[in-house]
Amino acid sequence: DAGVIQSPRHEVTEMGQEVTLRCKPISGHDYLFWYRQTMMRGLELLIYFNNNVPIDDSGMPEDRFSAKMPNASFSTLKIQPSEPRDSAVYFCASSSRQGALNSPLHFGNGTRLTVT
Amino acid sequence: GNSVTQMEGPVTLSEEAFLTINCTYTATGYPSLFWYVQYPGEGLQLLLKATKADDKGSNKGFEATYRKETTSFHLEKGSVQVSDSAVYFCALSESGGGADGLTFGKGTHLIIQP
């Protein structure tokens, strides 16, 4: 089990640039989540997918953020254009349909984004 | 709505000290409760869980008891080690255990000094 794989681990970009974060969930997991972590706001759920379909994107901060899951083994979170306030650690997590009781969230190691 | 409140950090202790990290929750139904741990540079991982009142979750020397009367799920460990230094998140799920229903607290940073 390779775990949830995120890339890149670190991303530094200038304001106004497009940023794409990538995630490969654990094979067989049909839920995928994107979280953002900051000191001020803690851990925030941005969006989650079930069977590659976005279910709840109410946590996406604004139209500059978009997420896709073209297949069961890959998801992207895109920010365009990026702003300094987007600086945070972005986590991807996955779990199986059995839910949190029998299959807790498995997190990737995160992407630390810095927008200057 | 649901919410989880944790004690503010950082919490700094000496090795072998007793640890308590407080967690209280607000929920409309009967949630399941969880503690997740985040080691430096890593994502969160499940530490322990309890699914109903008076259940005790335990793992790696950590324990937490689901107290419905006080809506609490405090994390305890009798003797902490330097390797326990991490951020600890209390969380609840009310959607029949579905992962989509997890609500996290803001996390408590624990620092253990040798």
pLDDT in tens, B9-56: 899 999 999 999 999 999 988 888 999 999 998 899 999 999 889 999
Picking from B92, B88, B104, B5, the residue whose alpha carbon sits closest to that of residue B40 is B88
Q: Is the pLDDT of residue B79 over 60?
A: yes
pLDDT of residue B6: 94
pLDDT of residue B101: 66
- What's the rounded Cα separation, in Å, for the pair B38 and B45? 6
Q: How many CB atoms lie within 10 A of CB B113?
A: 11
Residue B84: phi and psi, rounded to 5, are: -80, -5
SS3 of B110, please?
strand
Q: Is the pLDDT of residue B74 over 70?
A: yes
Q: How confident is the model at residue A62 (pLDDT cuts 50, 70, 90)?
A: confident
3-state helix, strand, coil in chain A (%, to 5): 5, 55, 45
Q: What percent of chain B has pLDDT over 90?
A: 71
The encoded tokens of residue B53 equal 């009142």
Q: How confident is the model at residue A97 (pLDDT cuts 50, 70, 90)?
A: low
Q: Answer whether B9 touches A (CB < 8 Å).
A: no
Q: Answer whether A58 touches B (CB < 8 Å).
A: no
Among all residues of chain A, which has the CA nearest to that of B98? A99
C-alpha B46 chain-centroid distance: 9
Chain A residues touching B9 at Cβ < 8 A: none
- How distant is the Cα of B114 from the closest Cα of chain A, in angstroms? 26
